Amino acid sequence: MSLERAARAALFLSGLIATFGGLLLIAWASGSAWLPVAFGLGIGALLRLLPLYRETSNLNLWTAGLVALVFLFWVRSERGMISFDRIQVATSQFWVGWVLGLALAGIVLLVALFKTPYRAAPLLLLLLFAVILATASGSGGGAGRMVDWVIRTFHLSRENAEMAVIAFRKVVHFSYYGANAGVAYWVARGANLPIRKPFFSLAAASWALSFAGICACFDELRQSTEPGRTGSFWDVLLDLAGAAFVVALMQRKALRQALNEGPGDLPGPGSGPAGPSPTQG
């Protein structure tokens, strides 16, 4: 085994151990075990897929920046204390995290704009998804205010209003994670991939579904720590169904395009919807 492969393996294992260690701490604090485990498995799957890419440093940095921004907006959407079952932490104690996180986010943005073979648009869209996720998964994202608004606006009974809001929120779940996975698939298609190899489409689809799965598990984990809200395994399945639906549509379009162009005319690495690679001049 070469030194480079050994270093990659060590980084992967240390990252996985650190991830599960942190999530087990969250599980102890929140009293919810299955969501942190699912979250860790999703992160592990994402990290395991990264070696399939030729230049993974930009994706690693992007993933780190995205997680940092989700955490920052998580803290920002809280007021006073972040409360778990056994731990209370004042949000004012996270000012150092804000400084470091914003610095990391700035580096990620610079890398996205100047150092990667993609355009910045899909990466900025993933940022937007992270902001929406971290804000809506807090206590302010509950259904109570929506139900009250429906009752006032449409003069429905509370029972009918609650049913309407539940149906609407399920549609939003399905659509949001479908769009989330679609943008992640767009990023994977724009990476400097060995696109002529047969596993290309499967690798891009797997990466996109893993990304959506991480976000879905984070969402439910966050909700499980909020007073008056609960995490739901069925919501995770609904989210993944929306992600799989959109990825299947994009996969079908990509395969049809490849068949129409023929094996000798497939675009080279870095081409496609996210722009050409700088190495291609």
Helix (H) or strand (E) holding 169: helix 158-190
What's the predicted TM-score (pTM) here? Answer: 0.61
For residue 224, what are its two tokens?
């499980």
Structural domain boundaries in the chain: 3-259
Placement of tokens 């009918």 in the chain: 160
Count of H helices and E strands in the chain? 9, 2
Q: Residue 191: its pLDDT value, please?
A: 56
Tens-level pLDDT at each residue, the chain (281 residues): 566 666 655 655 555 555 556 555 655 555 555 555 555 555 555 655 554 444 444 555 555 555 555 555 555 555 545 554 455 555 555 555 556 556 655 665 565 555 555 555 666 677 677 767 766 776 666 667 788 888 888 887 888 888 888 888 889 889 999 999 998 888 777 654 444 444 456 777 877 888 888 888 778 777 776 676 777 788 889 999 999 999 999 888 777 776 676 554 444 334 444 344 433 33
Q: Residue 235: its pLDDT value, please?
A: 85
Q: Residue 119: its pLDDT value, please?
A: 56
Which residues, 6 or more positions from 4, have their beta carbon under 8 angstroms from its beta carbon?
A: none
